[in-house]
């Protein structure tokens, strides 16, 4: 069982990314997944988090994730909004961070994740889709951890976003997958 937690701000596609991940795992990786979103004030810019649980067998647990194996941060400023992205992490928890700024990465090292994967997902989104919504990019970065195949992410993105939007978001995911580095 893999327990994931996505953190970001309203308008960044956090819930959509979780839905795409669940579909990628379920439809294309042959595993099982559930998504449980948590909305705050339901407005653009407000903190948002989503829980995802994946497993080789049917997921019977339907609750928020309290002890995440993987935390994905879609906006590095989330911690400035008093959101504890490290709540419940354990000695093997992994962080996937939307930033390639060394100062930001050093700040996140203080949370003591076992591994940190990082990429500038927002810049990749701007380049590929024309707006700074990093959900496709960050799914590509998540695929770099090995939790899901990049091909599954690309297919699921194209299922969710039709036409050019799907193609461009899948391209952003693939680029982020290739550019993701590990501390």
| Domain residue ranges in the chain | 2-182
Q: Which of 105, 100, 97 is nearest to 73 (CA)?
A: 97
pLDDT interval class at 49 (50, 70, 90): very high
Burial class (CB in 10 A: 0-12, 13-18, 19+), 111: middle
- Greatest extent of the chain over all pairs of C-alpha atoms, in Å: 42
**pLDDT per residue as tens digits for the range 141-179:** 999 999 999 999 999 999 999 999 999 999 999 999 999
- What is the pTM assigned to this prediction? 0.95
For the structural domain made of 2-182, what CATH number should be given? 3.40.920.10
**Which residues sit opposite 4 in a β-bridge?**
52, 70
What is each CA distance from 97 to 37, 65, 75, 90, 167, in whole angstroms?
19, 18, 8, 17, 23
């Amino acid at each position: 069982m893999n327990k994931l937690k996505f953190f970001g701000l309203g308008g960044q596609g956090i819930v959509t990314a979780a839905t795409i991940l669940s579909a990628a795992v379920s439809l294309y990786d042959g595993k099982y997944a559930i998504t449980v979103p948590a909305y705050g004030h339901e407005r653009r810019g407000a903190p948002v988090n989503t829980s995802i649980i994946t497993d080789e067998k049917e997921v019977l647990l339907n609750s928020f994730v309290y002890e995440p194996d993987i935390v994905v941060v879609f906006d590095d400023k989330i911690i400035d909004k008093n959101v504890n992205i490290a709540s419940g992490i354990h000695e093997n928890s992994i962080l996937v961070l939307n930033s390639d700024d060394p100062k930001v990465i050093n700040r996140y090292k203080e949370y003591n994740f076992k591994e940190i994967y990082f990429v500038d997902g927002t810049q990749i989104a701007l380049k590929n889709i024309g707006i700074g919504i990093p959900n496709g990019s960050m799914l590509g970065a998540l695929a770099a951890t090995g939790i899901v195949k990049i091909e599954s992410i690309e297919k699921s993105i194209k299922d969710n976003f039709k036409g050019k939007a799907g193609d461009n978001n899948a391209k952003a995911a693939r680029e982020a997958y290739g550019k993701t580095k590990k501390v």
